[in-house]
Amino acid sequence: MRIGVLTGGGDCPGLNAVIRAVVKTAAHQYHDEVIGIRDGFSGLINNKMHPLDLTRASGLISRGGTILGSSNRDNPFKYAEYIGGNMREMDVSGRVIENIEKNKLDCVIVIGGDGTQSIAHQFAQKGVNVIGIPKTIDNDLGATEVTFGYDTAITTVMEAIDKIQTTAESHHRIMVVEVMGRDAGWIGVSAGIAGGAHIILIPEIPFNMENIAQKIYERKGRGKHFTVIVVSEGARAAGGDRVIKRLVEGSFEKVRLGGIGEFVASELERITHVEARTTVLGHVQRGGSPSAFDRILATRYGSAAVMFAHDGKFDHMVALRTPEIVAVPLSEALHKMKNVEPDGSHVQTARRIGISFGDETASD
């Protein structure tokens, strides 16, 4: 087979490990040819492709980012082009199909999150042979237990919280750590538990500022004059809305969240008269070398995708169903976002060890 592979959406640790696994499995197991597609779907639109062989794949397992480049702005079904100084959205999916045929690609392996997989599914409905590989640090993609990149991201956040704990205690401050995750609180709740946070605010559980203040007072009553709060970027106060940083036209995700950490810090400083500082970890969560877990999962995903291509399981996505890697229909994977359950194990575990989610009083 002649297999194309692209990485779409936001980057994350483990992308290169997937590419490596695709190339190595294709070469060693099936004697296939692999073609790298540059910059996500932009490479299919503009015919930016090059061969990937064992030499190019060597040493990629520990390397962050993606050697193919990525983009979350080039949806072929709503492609933004500027004509006469004006921007308009065009359907250039036909151009993509022409380039797939011109390069004689038997299958395209699409590595990405929900937006990227949604586009892949649309192409499958037009007759393109596609196989998806789930990627997102947010861990919010349905049909799979976990996405690669997530473990590395929460480890990065945990290590930051470890450092923030000591400076918070030294200066008797409230320290607010804003993390990514969009509308899912997986990074916040997992990294918060691992890092020993005292309060975790996630999108799935609206918070009350007075209840957060009560938790701070309760800690001070026990001689704890500092508090570490982890807040997901999509968290919101009860009766309020998400804090939006800006809107980006032409992107699959037009709404860019950000600023909730500073809002929480300023409000708590006003209510409690305790100095509060904010740390926004931002894209550091996407960077760096993947963890051992993500290296293994990424390798299993990439290898399985090539195998499923030979099995003809197109319009499917590889998924982890412990202990197996299985193929699930893309329609199933995209059916529903995977959110943190307010009554689920992560939240209940956190509550049992005294972590507040801002929706209860300290005495609850």
Catalytic residues: 138
Residue 334 phi, psi (nearest 5): -95, 0
Contacts of residue 229, defined as CB under 8 A and 6 or more positions apart, other chains included, come to: 174, 175, 176, 177, 197, 198, 199, 200, 201, 212, 264, 268
Strand bridging mode 86-90 / 79-83: antiparallel
Answer yes or no: are the C-beta atoms of 160 and 177 closer than 8 Å. Answer: yes
117 CB burial (10 A radius; 0-12, 13-18, 19+): buried
**Best CA proximity match to 189, nearest among 322, 363, 361, 342:** 342
Residue 293 phi, psi (nearest 5): -60, -45
Dig out the tokens for 1 from the structure.
């087979």
Q: How far is the CA of 144 from the CAs of 111, 291, 327, 339, in angstroms?
A: 14, 19, 10, 12
